[in-house]
């Protein structure tokens, strides 16, 4: 601390002599007496005095802070359509090695990612984009394997049979959430993600990609878990788009074929889900 030239410097000055130059004020606070020192004649403003008193006063706590919180209401049960991909569809089959199963799962992930992104890229750039993506994400694959997978996915996106699925305006990886009413009358939450969604003024189409190596040949042979998945998606979207038929299909990437699941089959599966 430094004073004007005609005053003593604190450093080296007699502390007792320095203290005689200050006026002491004692302030009573809930925590005890506080001593405050001012230069002689220095007066604190009314605003500063009020601020000091306000700061020293006890703060009144709001009543809710001393009230025990009410028990949280039980949440609605959650139904995740993605749970349809349960362990029965990911276990190692007899005669299949862990390495082969891991490669198959990786392949399925790569196909999903390519089908998600490629339709939004101009056709003349899709091949180059697909190969670049696979080089980054499947570096342990041989160039021939990457080229074969890219060709397969590109053929899917260009196939006239699937033109509506990948048409302009269709959307990939659509997150949805909603409620369905159970037989007991209580709601159940539904949360999931649709691989491809096509909404037109006349209808709604849900498409779920499946990369099974040996897909079923008939719709009634499709795994029940897959039907359950589509039934929940359809139930939520039916409320979002009243008056429009909501169709649901499985697109088998290995065949390739798109298998529409009938409305009665979806209704029956939904009835089984909400009966619990």
Q: Are residues 269 and 211 in the same domain?
A: yes
Can you give the residue range of the structural domain that contains 184? 78-100+116-123+155-274
Q: Are residues 48 and 174 in the same domain?
A: no
Query: What span, in angstroms and rounded, lies between the C-alpha atoms of 113 and 253?
Result: 13
User: Residue 64: inside a domain, yes or no?
Assistant: no
pLDDT at 99: 82
Query: What span, in angstroms and rounded, lies between the C-alpha atoms of 114 and 117?
Result: 5
User: Residue 233: inside a domain, yes or no?
Assistant: yes
Number of H helices, E strands in the chain: 7, 8
Calculate the alpha carbon distances from 96 to 79, 104, 148, 212, 254 in Å: 32, 11, 22, 14, 18
Taking only the tens of pLDDT, the chain with its 276 residues reads: 443 444 444 445 555 555 556 777 788 887 788 887 777 655 554 445 555 555 555 667 788 888 887 776 556 666 777 654 544 444 555 566 778 888 888 999 999 999 999 999 999 999 999 999 999 999 999 999 999 999 999 999 999 999 999 998 899 999 999 988 888 777 888 999 999 999 999 999 999 999 887 889 899 999 999 999 999 999 999 999 999 999 999 999 988 899 999 999 999 999 998 886
Tell which residue, 211, 258, 200, 264, has the closest CA to residue 234. Answer: 264
pLDDT at 46: 43
Q: Are residues 48 and 175 in the same domain?
A: no
Q: Are residues 207 and 90 in the same domain?
A: yes
Instruction: Estimate to the nearest angstrom the gap between the alpha carbon of 3 and the chain centroid.
Output: 62
User: Residue 269: inside a domain, yes or no?
Assistant: yes
Answering whether pTM is above 0.75, one says no
């Amino acid at each position: 601390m430094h004073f004007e030239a005609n005053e003593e410097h604190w450093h080296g000055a007699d502390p007792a002599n320095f203290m005689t130059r200050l006026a002491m004020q004692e302030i009573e606070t809930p925590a005890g007496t506080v001593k405050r020192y001012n230069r002689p004649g220095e007066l604190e403003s009314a605003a500063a005095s009020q601020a000091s008193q306000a700061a020293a006063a006890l703060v009144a706590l709001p009543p809710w802070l001393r009230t025990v919180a009410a028990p949280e209401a039980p949440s609605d049960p959650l139904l995740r359509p993605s749970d349809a991909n349960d362990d029965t569809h990911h276990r190692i089959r007899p005669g299949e090695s862990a390495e082969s199963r891991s490669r198959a799962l990786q392949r399925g992930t790569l196909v999903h990612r390519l089908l998600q992104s490629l339709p939004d890229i101009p056709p003349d750039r899709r091949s180059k984009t697909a190969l670049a993506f696979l080089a980054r994400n499947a570096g342990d694959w041989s160039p021939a394997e990457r080229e074969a997978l890219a060709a397969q996915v590109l053929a899917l996106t260009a196939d006239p049979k699937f033109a509506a699925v990948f048409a302009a305006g269709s959307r990939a990886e659509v997150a949805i959430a909603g409620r369905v009413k159970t037989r007991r009358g209580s709601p159940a939450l539904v949360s999931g993600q649709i691989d491809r969604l096509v909404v037109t003024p006349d209808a709604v189409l849900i498409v779920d990609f499946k990369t099974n190596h040996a897909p079923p040949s008939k719709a009634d042979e499709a795994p029940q878990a897959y039907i359950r998945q589509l039934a929940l998606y359809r139930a939520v979207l039916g409320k979002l788009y009243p008056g429009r038929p909501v169709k649901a299909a499985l697109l088998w990437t290995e065949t390739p074929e798109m298998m529409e699941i009938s409305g009665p089959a979806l209704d029956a599966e939904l009835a089984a889900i909400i009966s619990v």
